[in-house]
Amino acid sequence: MIAESHLAMLGESGITADFAMARGYETITDPERLVDLVDGQGITKAGRHVPGLLIPLRRAEGSTWGYQYRPDVPRCDSNGRPRKYETPYGQRNGLDIPPGVAAMLADPSVPLFITEGTKKADAGALNGLCIVDLIGVWNWLHTNTAGGKMAMPEWRDCALNGRRVIIAFDSDMTRNDKVQKAARGLAGYLATKGARIEYLWLPGDDEKTGLDDYLAEHSVEELWQLVKPVQPPPVSTSFLIPSKTSATAQPRRSTEVPAIARLPRILDAVAEEVQCGLVGEERLAQTLYLVLTSRLLDKQVSAGVKGHSASGKSYTVETVTRLFPPEAYLEFTAMSEKALIYSDDDYAHRTLVVYEITALREGVEDDMTSYFVRSLLSEGRIDYQVTVKGKDGGFTTKKIVKQGPTNLIFTTTKTHVHAENETRILSLATDDSREQTKRVLRELADESNGARDPEPWRDLQRWLADQENRVTIPYGRQLAELISPVAVRLRRDFGSLLALIRAHAVLHQASRSRDDAGRIIATLDDYDVVRDLVADTIAEGVGTIVSGTVRETVNAVKELASAHPWGVMARDIAAYLNLDKSNVSRRLAMAADDGYLVNQEDKRGRPGRWVIGDPLPGSDGLLPTAAQLRNPVAVPDLGSCAVAPESDSKKDTNGQPRCACGEPLTQPVSIERGTCEDCHLFGPVERQADR
């Protein structure tokens, strides 16, 4: 039986009488009822204040594994604070499953909420959520018979692979460092099971707001608007280790759409913004801005900024990061081998900015730092096993999990980095031309340019972080069809291209439509802008074109070859191009890495003697234009990919469509483009038999 006063209390959390009966809530008036609740154990005598509400905790199949008791007049603990709930002595921890939820636990396509407290879970279940609860924020762990702390076995009732899991603790997470740490620990464990972790940002300043409190006055749709991909930042960061940029500094947030978000071309405004102090690297700055914005996505983009010493690599990165709030990125100039593992910082949806790649310890024996970064980029987390000494003197294994997803921006003077890192990034280059040097000198002499206030730009990024940032690219499949598969590396670069398109759509979401699933719909304008920024970068990465600096250097060697039959020296090239020798040496190394120049000198310490190597590729682009995406049948031959116009296909006497080579076209995609698969992939094929 449930007393009217208790039904009224449950009603304040939105729990109906029928649901309360299904759960098994019970009003207790006899303290003897509390003596033997679980395996001969009950509420301690001091806690048997009556009347009160007894709350059964349920397994997935509906049986009861434990209880909590809520006395109407609670006793106080040793600090004089009321003990709101009593738990049977010796009761183990477990996962509480509200009525009606069990059937959804096995389906990973259904988002799973995890909250603290039975009433909150019941309120969520009544609103149609797939939700479970813990009796405390650390109670996702239990103690085994040997005294070890382990994850509860009940997690096996929940399919976690690829599942959206929302940690929905109370709003005091922003004020309580212990709750923050508990949430991080839970997120780390669930991530090892393949879950995609998100967080519920419940409002509440001085008041403690729970999920049931919020749903009592708001709809489920409004609740979903509070789900974010990163953990709510604490109001006070005094418990954190001070650093250059605070990962959890409390941002100023606004629900209003920032004025910048309504601009038709936000990256043009970025270029204008960075001109105060940065000259001639606007395209590089725009690309870096998109890379940093991609941190908000599940699949992100990483970039390496390469260039000669003093070419402005670090300054360009610093100028762009200045437009982002401190919680958006982490900066490193150096780190110890395992600093990423033992840091208290959260990495999820934050960009790691590393000034000079040597901080990743590439080439060092047991190169663990670089391995950790690759794990963050590829797997979206770091799983690291360490051996720890227990109180009994024995050794046990502990797993440390650092949850992503994370992306990376680094600077380097190297032309190439470790191959495992090189294929995971977009290689961006600074401008080392004489014209750029002259522009920099003029800028340094100009005293009129002053720094602008970056706060409007930071507020834009904070607003974006609070939005639903899933994106659909309706022309993605067509784009894949129109790109020639010239290199295996394209498998990763195409993913980076799509992520940049999504980042641009996220940036312009105030002027983009959404589909029925709530996803932002990317437009061809998003592709057009991204293509303009990175088409050459991607083409250079797979070798279909070369950069202007490499082409200029190779052509210089070609021009000078007749006068230097034994090989052209760097000083001669420097004089011909009117560049300094160190700049030319770097260009020669870039050309040699790709095989376009060969050093004939085989003795160490002797000046290089450079001759022509492999022929330079043509200048045809790899990525189709936006116009070609609008009208795909008009797409010309792209590299080795022959895409014939529809009019070039034929039909036989039976009306069967045929390729220009005579091959019958049977698949819809082949009929649509007018070519067979062989001609599409390898160029026109001669087939004499059917001509």
Structure confidence at residue 498 (pLDDT):
94
Question: Which of 163-177, 209-223, 474-488, 664-678 shows the lowest per-residue confidence on average (mean pLDDT)?
Answer: 664-678
Of residues 410, 301, 428, the one with CA closest to residue 357: 410
Burial label for 220, CB within 10 Å (0-12, 13-18, 19+), is exposed
Q: Which residue has the higher pLDDT, 104 or 145?
A: 104
Look at residue 506 and give its three-state secondary structure.
Answer: helix
Give the separation between CA 119 and CA 121, rounded to whole angstroms. Answer: 5
Q: How confident is the model at residue 114 (pLDDT cuts 50, 70, 90)?
A: very high
Does the pLDDT at position 251 exceed 80? no
Structure confidence at residue 315 (pLDDT):
84
Rounded to an integer, the average pLDDT of 407-425 is 75
Q: How confident is the model at residue 229 (pLDDT cuts 50, 70, 90)?
A: confident
Structure confidence at residue 63 (pLDDT):
92
State the Cα torsion 370-373-375-380 to the nearest 10°.
180
Residues carrying CATH 3.40.50.300, the chain: 259-361+407-465
Rounded to an integer, the average pLDDT of 497-503 is 95
User: For 340-375, what is each residue's pLDDT tens digit?
Assistant: 777 777 788 889 888 876 555 555 445 666 677 777
Give the separation between CA 531 and CA 623, rounded to whole angstroms. Answer: 7
Q: Which residue has the higher pLDDT, 435 or 577?
A: 577
Tokens of 67: 């209880």
Structure confidence at residue 539 (pLDDT):
81
First to last CA, the chain: 88
Structure confidence at residue 644 (pLDDT):
33
* Averaged pLDDT score across all residues of the chain: 80
Of all residues in the chain, what percent carry a pLDDT higher than 70?
79
User: For 638-684, what is each residue's pLDDT tens digit?
Assistant: 443 333 333 344 555 556 677 776 777 665 555 655 666 555 544 45
Structure letter (DSSP) for residue 681: H
Structure confidence at residue 604 (pLDDT):
83
Structure confidence at residue 445 (pLDDT):
57
Of residues 225, 189, 191, 196, the one with CA closest to residue 110: 196
Does the pLDDT at position 72 exceed 80? yes
What are the phi and psi torsion angles at 489 (to 5°)? -60, -25
Single-letter residue type at 301: V
Q: Going by DSSP bridges, is the β-strand pair 650-651/471-472 parallel, antiparallel, or unpaired?
A: unpaired
Rounded to an integer, the average pLDDT of 34-62 is 90
Rounded to an integer, the average pLDDT of 265-282 is 83
Residues carrying CATH 3.40.1360.10, the chain: 93-232
Domain 548-612 fold is: Arc Repressor Mutant, subunit A (1.10.10)
Structure confidence at residue 621 (pLDDT):
72
State the Cα torsion 459-462-463-466 to the nearest 10°.
-170
Q: Going by DSSP bridges, is the β-strand pair 303-306/406-412 parallel, antiparallel, or unpaired?
A: parallel
Q: How confident is the model at residue 103 (pLDDT cuts 50, 70, 90)?
A: very high
Domain 259-361+407-465 fold is: Rossmann fold (3.40.50)
Structure confidence at residue 416 (pLDDT):
62
CA 95 to chain centre: 29
Class of domain 93-232 as given by CATH = alpha beta
Does the pLDDT at position 685 exceed 70? no
Give the separation between CA 568 and CA 592, rounded to whole angstroms. Answer: 14
Give the separation between CA 201 and CA 188, rounded to whole angstroms. Answer: 18
Rounded to an integer, the average pLDDT of 226-238 is 64
User: For 7-45, what is each residue's pLDDT tens digit?
Assistant: 999 999 999 999 999 999 999 999 999 998 887 789 988
Question: Which of 101-105, 320-324, 618-622 shows the lowest per-residue confidence on average (mean pLDDT)?
Answer: 618-622
Q: How confident is the model at residue 441 (pLDDT cuts 50, 70, 90)?
A: low
What are the phi and psi torsion angles at 332 (to 5°)? -135, 135
Q: What is 281-347 written as a DSSP string? A: -HHHHHHHHHHHHGGGSSS---EEEE--TTSSHHHHHHHHHTTS-GGGEEEES---TTHHHH-----
Does the pLDDT at position 142 exceed 90? no
Report whether the peptide linkage leading into residue 51 is cis, meaning its omega lies within 30 degrees of zero.
yes
User: For 527-585, what is each residue's pLDDT tens digit?
Assistant: 999 999 988 888 877 777 777 888 889 999 999 998 898 899 989 998 998 888 888 88
Task: Catalogue the long-range contacts made by 485-488 (C-beta closer than 8 Å, 24 or more residues apart).
Answer: 485/641, 485/681, 486/542, 486/543, 486/544, 486/622, 486/639, 486/640, 487/542, 487/543
Tell me the range of 158-162, 220-224, 497-501 where mean pLDDT is highest.
Answer: 497-501
Give the separation between CA 494 and CA 4, rounded to whole angstroms. Answer: 62
Structure confidence at residue 415 (pLDDT):
67
Residues carrying CATH 1.10.10.10, the chain: 548-612
- Cβ neighbours of 345 (radius 10 Å): 17
